Amino acid sequence: MLSRAVCGTGRQLAPALGYLGSRQKHSLPDLPYDYGALEPHINAEIMQLHHSKHHAAYVNNLNVTEEKYQEALAKGDVTAQIALQPALKFNGGGHINHSIFWTNLSPNGGGEPKGELLEAIKRDFGSFEKFKEKLTAASVGVQGSGWGWLGFNKERGQLQIAACPNQDPLQGTTGLIPLLGIDVWEHAYYLQYKNVRPDYLKAIWNVINWENVTERYMACKK
């Protein structure tokens, strides 16, 4: 399961590609709540399509791509391996990102985090409100499709905000450990908020699962 709060989420995808022969296929994780549980902030139709169609497509395409990669490894076909890298990144990233995203949300979410996470946010961003403003601005500013992230820089011991295009996974492309991801692909909000991304971002703070984000932060500090 990718939804478990662990430090270094990417390692829960396939093992090293050289060991794909014994791998298990990836599967779509269950949501920890009903499709309509996040209403009125995110409606049931969006959640159902987002989870059962979009995330499922990333999972299916990742499995197909890994099978092709396994065949290319067996044949020693380096050209084919290189050609498959974009599909691995896109579909693997989509699976990682969404598996984090679902657990970052909760019908009992919203408000502010507590304890060490809140103190770290105040230390690194000045205040919780300034943090919200910065992550919202980074997410609004994504051109086209992508994600806004709160990540943990393990080397510096600091929280950082980042934006990633498309389905680029945070840790695999920046080295930051993902704590909170906000999906700003239009399929995450268009049916309810049309093309007004700022309204969606204002609403999503009402369902952020700070307990899950805190678990991820505490795991990465160990």
Tell me the three state secondary structure of residue 178.
Answer: strand
Angle between helices 78-103 and 56-75 (to 10 degrees): 150
| Number of alpha carbons in the 13 Å side-chain half-sphere of residue 152 | 23
DSSP letter at 92 equals H
Pairing, β 158-165 against β 177-183: unpaired
Which helix (DSSP H) or strand (DSSP E) does residue 172 occupy?
A: helix 170-174
Name 79's Cβ contacts closer than 8 Å, sequence gap at least 6: none
Q: Which residue has the tokens 């239009």?
A: 186
> 126: left (phi > 0), else alpha (psi -120 to 50), else beta?
left
> 152: left (phi > 0), else alpha (psi -120 to 50), else beta?
beta
Q: Is 55 annotated as a binding residue?
A: no
Name 72's Cβ contacts closer than 8 Å, sequence gap at least 6: 78, 80, 81, 84
Q: Is 50 annotated as a binding residue?
A: yes
In the annotated binding site, the residues are: 50, 98, 183, 187
In the annotated binding site for Mn(2+), the residues are: 50, 98, 183, 187
